[in-house]
Amino acid sequence: MIPIQKPITLEQLVIIARNVGGKIMKDNFRGPTGIAYKSKDDLTWVTEIDISINNVVIRKIRHISRDVSIVGEEVSDLTDSEWVVIVDPIDGTAAMVFGFPVCVFMIALLYRGTPVFGVIYHPFTQTMYAADAGKGASMNNRKIVTSAPVGHEPIIGVSIWPGHEYLYQVCDVLSRQGFKFRMYDSIGYMDAAVARGAFAATIFPGDKAWDSIPGWIIVKEAGKEAGAGTSDIHGQPLAYRDGKLNGHIFSYNEKVHAQILEAMRSCA
Protein backbone atom coordinates (compact mmCIF):
# COMPACT_ATOMS: atom_id res chain seq x y z
CA MET A 1 0.00 0.00 0.00
CA ILE A 2 1.49 3.34 -1.09
CA PRO A 3 1.07 6.04 1.60
CA ILE A 4 -1.08 9.05 0.71
CA GLN A 5 1.59 11.46 1.96
CA LYS A 6 4.62 11.39 -0.32
CA PRO A 7 7.99 13.12 0.13
CA ILE A 8 7.81 14.76 -3.30
CA THR A 9 4.95 15.38 -5.72
CA LEU A 10 4.60 14.46 -9.38
CA GLU A 11 4.31 18.17 -10.17
CA GLN A 12 7.66 18.82 -8.49
CA LEU A 13 9.30 16.05 -10.55
CA VAL A 14 7.81 17.56 -13.73
CA ILE A 15 9.23 20.98 -12.82
CA ILE A 16 12.67 19.45 -12.19
CA ALA A 17 12.46 17.62 -15.52
CA ARG A 18 11.61 20.79 -17.45
CA ASN A 19 13.66 23.43 -15.62
CA VAL A 20 16.74 21.40 -14.72
CA GLY A 21 17.20 18.26 -16.82
CA GLY A 22 15.59 19.54 -19.99
CA LYS A 23 16.96 23.07 -19.81
CA ILE A 24 20.57 22.09 -19.15
CA MET A 25 20.42 19.43 -21.86
CA LYS A 26 18.99 21.78 -24.47
CA ASP A 27 21.29 24.68 -23.51
CA ASN A 28 24.34 22.45 -24.02
CA PHE A 29 23.24 20.71 -27.19
CA ARG A 30 25.96 21.22 -29.81
CA GLY A 31 24.47 19.53 -32.86
CA PRO A 32 27.07 18.11 -35.27
CA THR A 33 29.86 19.98 -33.42
CA GLY A 34 29.83 17.18 -30.85
CA ILE A 35 30.54 17.02 -27.11
CA ALA A 36 33.51 15.56 -25.23
CA TYR A 37 32.80 12.32 -23.40
CA LYS A 38 34.44 9.52 -21.42
CA SER A 39 33.72 5.79 -21.39
CA LYS A 40 32.66 4.25 -18.09
CA ASP A 41 33.47 0.77 -16.83
CA ASP A 42 30.21 -0.57 -18.26
CA LEU A 43 31.19 0.88 -21.69
CA THR A 44 28.43 3.51 -21.62
CA TRP A 45 29.40 7.15 -22.08
CA VAL A 46 29.31 10.11 -19.72
CA THR A 47 29.77 13.84 -20.30
CA GLU A 48 30.17 16.77 -17.95
CA ILE A 49 26.58 17.66 -18.84
CA ASP A 50 25.29 14.32 -17.44
CA ILE A 51 27.15 14.98 -14.18
CA SER A 52 26.02 18.60 -13.98
CA ILE A 53 22.34 17.70 -14.44
CA ASN A 54 22.60 14.88 -11.89
CA ASN A 55 24.16 17.17 -9.27
CA VAL A 56 21.65 19.99 -9.76
CA VAL A 57 18.76 17.52 -9.54
CA ILE A 58 20.08 16.22 -6.22
CA ARG A 59 20.29 19.78 -4.85
CA LYS A 60 16.73 20.53 -6.00
CA ILE A 61 15.38 17.35 -4.41
CA ARG A 62 17.20 18.05 -1.17
CA HIS A 63 15.40 21.41 -0.97
CA ILE A 64 12.16 19.41 -1.04
CA SER A 65 13.09 16.36 1.06
CA ARG A 66 16.08 15.58 3.27
CA ASP A 67 15.02 11.97 3.78
CA VAL A 68 14.32 10.42 0.37
CA SER A 69 17.14 8.30 -1.07
CA ILE A 70 18.44 9.45 -4.48
CA VAL A 71 19.88 6.96 -6.97
CA GLY A 72 21.38 8.71 -10.00
CA GLU A 73 23.16 7.27 -12.98
CA GLU A 74 26.21 9.45 -12.36
CA VAL A 75 25.83 10.66 -8.75
CA SER A 76 23.75 9.33 -5.84
CA ASP A 77 22.84 10.62 -2.38
CA LEU A 78 21.61 7.63 -0.41
CA THR A 79 19.64 7.39 2.80
CA ASP A 80 17.87 4.48 4.50
CA SER A 81 14.44 5.78 3.39
CA GLU A 82 11.84 3.45 1.86
CA TRP A 83 11.28 6.24 -0.69
CA VAL A 84 13.74 6.34 -3.60
CA VAL A 85 14.10 8.85 -6.43
CA ILE A 86 15.69 7.40 -9.58
CA VAL A 87 17.45 9.85 -11.94
CA ASP A 88 18.77 9.41 -15.47
CA PRO A 89 20.20 12.84 -16.36
CA ILE A 90 20.60 12.08 -20.07
CA ASP A 91 19.12 8.88 -21.43
CA GLY A 92 20.84 8.69 -24.79
CA THR A 93 24.21 10.27 -24.01
CA ALA A 94 25.74 9.00 -27.25
CA ALA A 95 22.98 10.71 -29.23
CA MET A 96 23.70 13.93 -27.33
CA VAL A 97 27.43 13.58 -28.04
CA PHE A 98 26.91 13.18 -31.79
CA GLY A 99 24.26 15.87 -32.08
CA PHE A 100 21.17 13.73 -32.56
CA PRO A 101 18.24 15.15 -30.53
CA VAL A 102 17.00 11.69 -29.55
CA CYS A 103 17.73 11.85 -25.83
CA VAL A 104 15.56 12.45 -22.78
CA PHE A 105 15.65 13.27 -19.08
CA MET A 106 14.05 10.66 -16.82
CA ILE A 107 13.08 10.64 -13.15
CA ALA A 108 10.86 8.43 -10.99
CA LEU A 109 9.75 7.94 -7.40
CA LEU A 110 9.51 4.49 -5.81
CA TYR A 111 8.15 3.26 -2.50
CA ARG A 112 9.54 -0.06 -1.28
CA GLY A 113 10.55 -0.82 -4.86
CA THR A 114 7.17 0.00 -6.39
CA PRO A 115 6.99 2.86 -8.92
CA VAL A 116 4.79 5.72 -7.71
CA PHE A 117 5.57 8.51 -10.22
CA GLY A 118 7.43 8.48 -13.52
CA VAL A 119 8.52 11.31 -15.83
CA ILE A 120 10.20 11.29 -19.25
CA TYR A 121 10.96 14.67 -20.83
CA HIS A 122 12.12 15.32 -24.39
CA PRO A 123 13.31 18.94 -24.27
CA PHE A 124 13.81 19.35 -28.02
CA THR A 125 10.07 19.05 -28.65
CA GLN A 126 9.06 20.08 -25.11
CA THR A 127 7.16 16.82 -24.72
CA MET A 128 6.48 15.77 -21.12
CA TYR A 129 5.33 12.25 -20.29
CA ALA A 130 4.16 11.66 -16.73
CA ALA A 131 2.43 8.91 -14.78
CA ASP A 132 0.91 8.59 -11.32
CA ALA A 133 0.34 5.03 -10.07
CA GLY A 134 -3.34 4.17 -10.35
CA LYS A 135 -4.25 7.47 -11.99
CA GLY A 136 -3.07 7.07 -15.57
CA ALA A 137 -0.45 8.64 -17.80
CA SER A 138 -0.27 11.85 -19.77
CA MET A 139 1.64 13.59 -22.54
CA ASN A 140 1.74 17.36 -22.03
CA ASN A 141 -1.15 17.05 -19.56
CA ARG A 142 -3.36 15.07 -21.96
CA LYS A 143 -4.26 11.48 -21.15
CA ILE A 144 -2.53 8.88 -23.31
CA VAL A 145 -3.54 5.28 -23.95
CA THR A 146 -1.43 2.58 -25.58
CA SER A 147 -2.81 1.36 -28.87
CA ALA A 148 -1.88 -0.41 -32.08
CA PRO A 149 0.24 1.91 -34.24
CA VAL A 150 -1.87 3.48 -37.01
CA GLY A 151 -0.70 4.10 -40.57
CA HIS A 152 2.44 1.93 -40.49
CA GLU A 153 3.68 -1.54 -39.60
CA PRO A 154 4.09 -2.28 -35.87
CA ILE A 155 7.48 -1.06 -34.69
CA ILE A 156 9.56 -2.51 -31.86
CA GLY A 157 12.27 -0.37 -30.30
CA VAL A 158 15.31 -2.47 -29.43
CA SER A 159 18.58 -1.87 -27.58
CA ILE A 160 21.26 -4.51 -28.19
CA TRP A 161 24.19 -4.49 -25.78
CA PRO A 162 27.38 -6.60 -25.72
CA GLY A 163 26.49 -10.06 -24.46
CA HIS A 164 22.96 -9.83 -25.83
CA GLU A 165 23.66 -10.38 -29.53
CA TYR A 166 20.96 -13.08 -29.57
CA LEU A 167 18.50 -10.20 -29.87
CA TYR A 168 19.48 -9.90 -33.55
CA GLN A 169 18.02 -13.41 -33.99
CA VAL A 170 14.92 -12.38 -32.04
CA CYS A 171 14.46 -9.43 -34.40
CA ASP A 172 14.81 -11.73 -37.41
CA VAL A 173 12.08 -14.05 -36.06
CA LEU A 174 9.74 -11.14 -35.31
CA SER A 175 10.42 -9.46 -38.67
CA ARG A 176 8.90 -12.53 -40.33
CA GLN A 177 5.75 -11.83 -38.32
CA GLY A 178 5.48 -8.31 -39.75
CA PHE A 179 7.32 -6.24 -37.16
CA LYS A 180 9.76 -3.46 -38.02
CA PHE A 181 12.56 -2.24 -35.74
CA ARG A 182 14.22 0.95 -34.58
CA MET A 183 17.38 1.18 -32.47
CA TYR A 184 17.59 4.68 -31.03
CA ASP A 185 20.20 5.32 -28.35
CA SER A 186 17.57 6.35 -25.79
CA ILE A 187 15.38 3.54 -24.45
CA GLY A 188 13.27 6.12 -22.60
CA TYR A 189 12.50 7.86 -25.90
CA MET A 190 11.29 4.53 -27.31
CA ASP A 191 9.35 3.56 -24.16
CA ALA A 192 7.48 6.86 -24.42
CA ALA A 193 6.64 5.98 -28.04
CA VAL A 194 4.97 2.78 -26.77
CA ALA A 195 2.98 4.76 -24.20
CA ARG A 196 1.57 7.15 -26.80
CA GLY A 197 0.79 4.43 -29.36
CA ALA A 198 3.58 5.09 -31.88
CA PHE A 199 5.58 1.90 -31.15
CA ALA A 200 4.17 -1.55 -30.46
CA ALA A 201 6.87 -2.54 -27.97
CA THR A 202 10.39 -2.12 -26.63
CA ILE A 203 13.04 -4.70 -25.74
CA PHE A 204 15.86 -3.68 -23.40
CA PRO A 205 18.50 -6.00 -21.86
CA GLY A 206 20.21 -3.48 -19.55
CA ASP A 207 19.99 -3.92 -15.77
CA LYS A 208 20.10 -0.33 -14.49
CA ALA A 209 16.92 0.90 -12.79
CA TRP A 210 17.15 4.44 -14.19
CA ASP A 211 16.84 3.05 -17.73
CA SER A 212 13.61 1.15 -17.06
CA ILE A 213 11.55 2.47 -14.16
CA PRO A 214 10.23 5.76 -15.64
CA GLY A 215 9.08 3.97 -18.78
CA TRP A 216 7.69 1.08 -16.73
CA ILE A 217 5.12 3.15 -14.86
CA ILE A 218 4.28 5.36 -17.86
CA VAL A 219 3.61 2.39 -20.17
CA LYS A 220 1.78 0.49 -17.41
CA GLU A 221 -0.52 3.43 -16.64
CA ALA A 222 -1.08 4.31 -20.30
CA GLY A 223 -1.81 0.67 -21.07
CA LYS A 224 -4.38 -0.17 -18.41
CA GLU A 225 -7.26 -0.12 -20.92
CA ALA A 226 -5.43 -2.00 -23.69
CA GLY A 227 -3.79 -4.48 -21.30
CA ALA A 228 -0.17 -3.41 -21.82
CA GLY A 229 2.45 -6.06 -21.25
CA THR A 230 5.31 -5.24 -18.88
CA SER A 231 7.94 -7.73 -17.73
CA ASP A 232 11.66 -8.18 -17.33
CA ILE A 233 13.73 -9.41 -20.27
CA HIS A 234 12.87 -13.03 -19.41
CA GLY A 235 9.13 -12.48 -19.08
CA GLN A 236 9.14 -12.42 -15.28
CA PRO A 237 7.48 -9.69 -13.20
CA LEU A 238 9.64 -6.58 -12.94
CA ALA A 239 11.39 -6.34 -9.58
CA TYR A 240 13.60 -3.50 -8.33
CA ARG A 241 16.52 -4.66 -6.20
CA ASP A 242 19.54 -2.60 -5.12
CA GLY A 243 19.29 -0.13 -7.99
CA LYS A 244 18.80 -2.75 -10.67
CA LEU A 245 16.16 -4.45 -12.81
CA ASN A 246 16.61 -7.45 -15.08
CA GLY A 247 15.96 -5.54 -18.31
CA HIS A 248 12.49 -5.05 -19.69
CA ILE A 249 9.94 -5.83 -22.38
CA PHE A 250 7.09 -3.31 -22.69
CA SER A 251 4.27 -3.70 -25.20
CA TYR A 252 0.98 -2.00 -25.93
CA ASN A 253 -0.94 -5.25 -25.30
CA GLU A 254 -0.43 -8.79 -23.99
CA LYS A 255 -0.66 -10.39 -27.44
CA VAL A 256 2.43 -8.56 -28.72
CA HIS A 257 4.16 -9.26 -25.42
CA ALA A 258 3.51 -13.00 -25.85
CA GLN A 259 4.85 -12.91 -29.43
CA ILE A 260 8.08 -11.31 -28.24
CA LEU A 261 8.54 -13.82 -25.42
CA GLU A 262 7.95 -16.73 -27.80
CA ALA A 263 10.58 -15.33 -30.17
CA MET A 264 12.96 -14.94 -27.22
CA ARG A 265 12.44 -18.59 -26.23
CA SER A 266 12.99 -19.81 -29.77
CA CYS A 267 16.36 -18.03 -29.91
CA ALA A 268 17.60 -19.06 -26.46
- The per-residue pLDDT for range 56-113, each reduced to its tens digit, is 999 999 999 999 999 999 999 999 999 999 999 999 999 999 999 999 999 999 999 9
Domain co-membership, 15 together with 139: yes
Report residue 109: phi and psi, to 5°: -115, 135
Helix runs in 40-105, H state only: 48-64, 93-98
Average pLDDT over residues 239-255: 92
Q: What pLDDT, on the 0 to 100 scale, is given for residue 15?
A: 98
Kindly state the DSSP code that residue 82 receives in the 8-state scheme.
S
Residues spanned by the domain of 75: 10-143
Report residue 166: phi and psi, to 5°: -60, -20
Q: What pLDDT, on the 0 to 100 scale, is given for residue 149?
A: 79
Stretch (H or E) spanning 157 = strand 155-158
In a domain, 1, yes or no: no
Domain co-membership, 133 together with 18: yes
- Tell me if 182 sits within 8 A of 194, measured CB to CB: no
What one-character-per-residue DSSP string does 28-92 give? T--GGG----EE-TTS-EE-HHHHHHHHHHHHHHHHH-SSSEEEESS--B--S-SEEEEEEEEET
Chosen domain end from 143, 176, 194 = 143
